[in-house]
Amino acid sequence: MSFIRRTPLVNGGFYHIFNRGVARAPTFLSRAEYKQAMLTLSYYRYAKPPVSLARFKEFSQEERQQLLNSLQKTEKLVEIVAFVLMPNHFHFLLKQNKDNGISKFVSQFTNSYTRYFNTLNERVGPLFQGVFKSVYIEADEQLIHVSRYIHLNPVVSNVIREEDLLAYPWSSLPDYLGSGVSAQIFTDPVLSHFKSPQEYRRFIFDQIGYGKELERIKHLVVDD
């Protein structure tokens, strides 16, 4: 599937990117699928991975680590500022590093993951809706609020309970709070506005009730 945009996304710009499954169908059905999506995100943020992700997974652990070490010295299409994977959709907060970087990154992510999902589930055809939606981030305040919206999504969408948010493994929130194991999240643009990760945590949890109310009425104010 190609992703052709009428308005080019600009280098250095921050964008909220989101898309959902065709006909709102589930896109992540198991832990294995979520883990595959996380690996796909990490791998295809780089501008020139030398092999496909499927080929990469055939390598030994030592060979994988050597390739990843070399990739870390190369250019990235995007910086991943925040993300969440939900049962039938995803949200990314991205900074574009190279021309068409976001479009290429999202295309590679969705195409690679769709091939994996279709093979695993014996299905054919597109998994996600057509061209992804994007919102340009115009100010720092908008940036931090979008990060909160993304990190609260599992709760306000009633996928998990509020008390389980910190244990939700399919988002970048653990990276913001110091419990993440990945190095793929570019937290500085958001966390630079807070004195500590604990202050950001309070910022997240202080607005859960408000976020739930927005989710309940968003169909009244958003063209969906």
How far, in Å, CA of 174 to CA of 168, rounded?
Answer: 8
Between CA 224 and CA 218 the distance in angstroms is: 9
The SS3 call for residue 154 is helix
Any domain includes 4: no
CA distance 224 to 66: 44
Query: What pLDDT is recorded for position 178?
Result: 84
Tell me, yes or no, whether 6 lies in a domain: no
Residue 2 lies in a domain: no
Query: Per the structure, how many domains does the chain have?
Result: 1
Per-residue pLDDT tens over the stretch 138-152:
999 999 999 999 999
Q: What is the rounded CA–CA span in Å between residue 157 and residue 164?
A: 13
pTM above 0.85, yes or no: yes
Has residue 149 been placed in a domain? yes
CA 130 to chain centre: 17
The answer to the question of residue 38 being in a domain is: yes
Residue 117 within any structural domain of the chain: yes
Residue 65 covered by a domain: yes
More confident residue, 215 or 78: 78
Give the span between the Cα atoms of 50 and 110, in whole angstroms: 19
CA–CA separation, 218 vs 8, rounded Å? 27
pLDDT for position 216: 55
For the stretch 161-215, pLDDT in tens is 989 999 999 999 999 998 765 558 999 999 999 999 999 999 998 877 655 655 5
- Please report which residue ranges of the chain form alpha helices under DSSP H: 31-44, 53-56, 61-71, 101-121, 140-156, 173-176, 188-191, 197-205, 208-221
Asked if the structure places residue 8 within a domain, the reply is no
CATH at residue 66? 3.30.70.1290
Domain span holding position 34? 14-219
